[in-house]
Amino acid sequence: SMTSKNFASEALAGLIEYHAILNQVSFYISVDFTIHDTSFRWIDLGEKYKFICGPLYFNDSSQLQKTKIVCENPLDSDFFKIIAAFYARNEHLSRCSINFNVLNGGGGSTKDVFERTIQNDEIAFCIVDNDKKHPQAPYGGTSSHFLGEKIKRSGLVEILDVHEVESLVPLDTIEEVLKNLNLMIKKKDT
């Protein structure tokens, strides 16, 4: 019947979109219905990480909330919101809403905020810059507290290979903004 064909067509389109999205993310959750408790495990797939859990993991409504992103400060989290919005637009993920709750640690307390979050088995992604004074220097500041395993309980840690997250903005972009700002100031003065 036509209804069955429409349903099959919609299901196929959804499956294709689902696999396309999986190819564009580095972390995703897979619900395994053979797991009959609240346990979970991570699988490192090289460039991607898969968080596998059973449906009972979501009995606690806090697990159904947005993923928590732990950052060092509000400037970092604001920057990541801009990056996420840009990524969604650039990758044509308009139907995929990228949302997260930000938990700012404030430098030295970032580790404590992350630990408290994963203590409750909440999924958390912690992003810190490496705080290196120069490329050959040891990890400094906040990042030194996160050395070792990338996966810790229900959390995933990413140490960015930059001294400050603001260093991720390409120089060309900074130059363009400054150039436009300078043109705006000149127009205002005339």
Token pair recorded at residue 183 = 């043109």
Residues 6+ apart with CB under 8 A from 120: 62
Highest mean pLDDT among 49-58, 106-115, 128-137, 158-167: 49-58
What is the DSSP code (8-state) at residue 161? S
33 token code pair: 């219905």
Share of the chain above pLDDT 70, in %: 78
Of 16 and 100, more confident: 100
Chain mean position to CA 63: 16
Interior/surface letters 107-145, b for 16+ CB within 10 angstroms, e for the rest: eeebbebbbebbeebbbbbbbbbbbbeeeeeebebbbeb
Contact 58, 29 (CB under 8 A): no
Residue 2 has pLDDT above 60, yes or no: yes
Buried/exposed 159-190: b ≥16 CB within 10 Å, e otherwise? bbeebebeeeeeeeeeeeeeeeeeeeeeeeee
The per-residue pLDDT of the chain, averaged, comes to 78
Tokens of 103: 């938990």
Where residue 185 falls among pLDDT bands split at 50, 70, 90?
A: low
Residue 132 has pLDDT above 70, yes or no: no
SS (HEC) of 110-139: HHHHHHHHHHCCCCEEEEEECCCCCCCCCC
Q: Identify the pLDDT of residue 94.
A: 66
Residues 6+ apart with CB under 8 A from 41: 51, 52, 53
157 φ, ψ (degrees, to nearest 5): -115, 135
Residue 110 reports pLDDT greater than 60: yes
**Residue 184 pLDDT more than 60?**
no
Q: Which residue has the higher pLDDT, 55 or 89?
A: 55
Rounded CA gap, 68 and 95, in Å? 21
Instruction: Give the global pTM.
Output: 0.70
